[in-house]
């Protein structure tokens, strides 16, 4: 990974411009919520007629997301007259990305027919690197264009990069628990010389079976054809493995996958040899873990249902829904517009890209309703969801 000093000389900026005071009023007006602030002081509860709305004690924007948004707004303030581009969504929230476009920040196009591409950039242009980071080849291409690069990559993501880079230096293959086409995993895998990406325990089991000699090479290559480093040879490259994660995955599953892999190596190589051939470090970010722990505490309080707010392509939001579904009905919505009525809700189906509608989502009579939100969701969006729920239920908060 490019170190800070090298990054500075190469035109990569990874620090604030010191303009937070200038942009703070704009940020507060766009993303903050007086209602959410009030609910926090009321033990994270809102009583409203027949509804009791329970807010998870860790939710919404994390430090990394806050930082990325701050840097984007500061960049616009610093370079008001320059063209500013994003290589991809800065975070997985449609409201945030739309607001940046309203500021005049454009997305780089893949096709010249669709707009400005990397090849059109000049040294006068400014490019924001998203919180997920960029693959190395893309970063190198941007550097060659000579434009100013403002890097908003989350520190937790960069910690994973350091981990997989250490694996590569020591001749270990990185087994990455993540989604092979997710921006973060694409950036992480580009830092590894050898890697295989496993989506879940089912895929991890196939890696374990190969190590045990129960899964053939041809089957392995078909299963992971889009999730392997170039020239991957499972027989040679799974002799030494180190585990890493996309930082937003379900932490319990990541730990279980690591244990599965370690056990398979132990069965084949023995304990002493496995100590030399296997490495594992938990690289789930603390904010992801905090939000997962908080939603678990909430659903154990016997809430009747959960509403989870966040972008539909947000991995960490999806996992909050998965956790909730183990205890009660849970619905992943992107914003208040998904609440069509007290009877009809539009939401994303868990573990799927399908957007569906569910009737009778809000029960009659007294309801204890839990709410949480992914790490990319502004408080303002959560507030709008709460207000819409109160509206369709035809109730008002006590003391309002």
**Phi, psi torsion values for 207, nearest 5 degrees:** -65, -45
What's the confidence (pLDDT) of residue 302?
Answer: 85
Please, are residues 97 and 120 in contact by the beta-carbon 8 Å criterion? no
pTM for the structure as a whole: 0.91
What's the confidence (pLDDT) of residue 28?
Answer: 96
What's the confidence (pLDDT) of residue 251?
Answer: 87
What's the confidence (pLDDT) of residue 399?
Answer: 53
* Catalytic site residue from 138, 184, 223, 383: 184
Residues whose CB falls within 8 Å of the CB of residue 75, separated by 6 or more in sequence, listed in order: 17, 84, 126, 128, 150
Please, are residues 331 and 388 in contact by the beta-carbon 8 Å criterion? no
Is residue 184 flagged as an active site residue? Answer: yes
What's the confidence (pLDDT) of residue 286?
Answer: 86
Q: Is the dihedral of CA 381, 385, 386, 387 positive or negative?
A: positive
Please tell me the distance from the alpha carbon of residue 310 to that of residue 335, in angstroms, as a whole number: 7
Which segments of the chain have a pLDDT < 70? 1-10, 399-400
Q: Is the dihedral of CA 293, 298, 302, 306 positive or negative?
A: negative
In the chain the domains, ranked by start, together with CATH numbers, are 25-62+287-393 (3.40.1010.20), 64-153 (3.40.50.11270), 156-284 (3.40.1010.20)
What's the confidence (pLDDT) of residue 179?
Answer: 96
Angle between helices 286-299 and 315-325 (to 10 degrees): 30
Residue that is written with structure tokens 């939401």 in the block: 347
């Amino acid at each position: 990974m490019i170190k800070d000093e090298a990054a500075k000389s190469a035109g990569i900026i990874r620090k604030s411009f010191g303009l937070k005071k200038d942009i703070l009023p704009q940020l507060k007006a766009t993303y903050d919520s007086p209602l959410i602030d009030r609910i926090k002081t009321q033990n994270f509860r809102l009583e409203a007629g027949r509804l009791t709305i329970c807010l998870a004690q860790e939710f919404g924007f994390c430090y990394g997301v806050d930082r990325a948004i701050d840097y984007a707004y500061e960049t616009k303030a610093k370079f008001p007259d320059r063209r500013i581009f994003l290589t991809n969504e800065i975070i997985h929230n449609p409201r945030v990305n739309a607001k940046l476009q309203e500021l005049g920040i454009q997305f780089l196009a893949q096709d010249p027919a669709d707009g400005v591409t990397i090849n059109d950039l000049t040294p006068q242009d400014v490019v924001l690197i998203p919180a997920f980071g960029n693959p190395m080849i893309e970063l190198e291409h941007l550097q060659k264009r000579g434009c100013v690069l403002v890097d908003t990559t989350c520190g937790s993501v960069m910690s994973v990069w350091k981990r997989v880079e250490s694996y590569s230096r020591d001749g270990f293959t990185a087994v990455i628990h993540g989604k092979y086409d997710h921006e973060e995993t694409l950036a992480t895998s580009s830092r590894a010389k050898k890697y295989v990406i496993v989506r879940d325990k089912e895929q991890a089991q196939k890696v374990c079976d190969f190590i045990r000699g129960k899964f053939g090479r041809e089957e392995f290559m078909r299963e992971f054809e889009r999730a392997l480093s170039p020239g991957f040879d499972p027989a040679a490259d799974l002799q030494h493995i180190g585990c890493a994660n996309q930082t937003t995955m379900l932490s319990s599953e990541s730990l279980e996958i690591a244990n599965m892999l370690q056990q398979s190596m132990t069965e084949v190589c023995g304990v002493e040899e496995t100590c030399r051939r296997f490495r594992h470090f938990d690289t789930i970010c603390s904010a992801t873990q905090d939000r997962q722990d908080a939603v678990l505490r909430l659903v154990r309080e016997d809430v009747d249902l959960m509403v989870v707010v966040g972008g539909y392509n947000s991995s960490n939001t999806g996992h909050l829904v998965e956790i909730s579904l183990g205890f009660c009905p849970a619905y992943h919505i992107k914003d208040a517009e998904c609440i069509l009525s007290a009877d009809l809700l539009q939401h994303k189906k868990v573990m799927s890209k399908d957007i569906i509608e569910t009737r009778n989502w809000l029960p009659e009579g007294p309801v204890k309703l839990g709410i949480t939100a992914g790490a990319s969701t502004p408080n303002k969006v959560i507030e709008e969801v709460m207000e819409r729920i109160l509206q369709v239920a035809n109730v008002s908060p006590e003391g309002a």
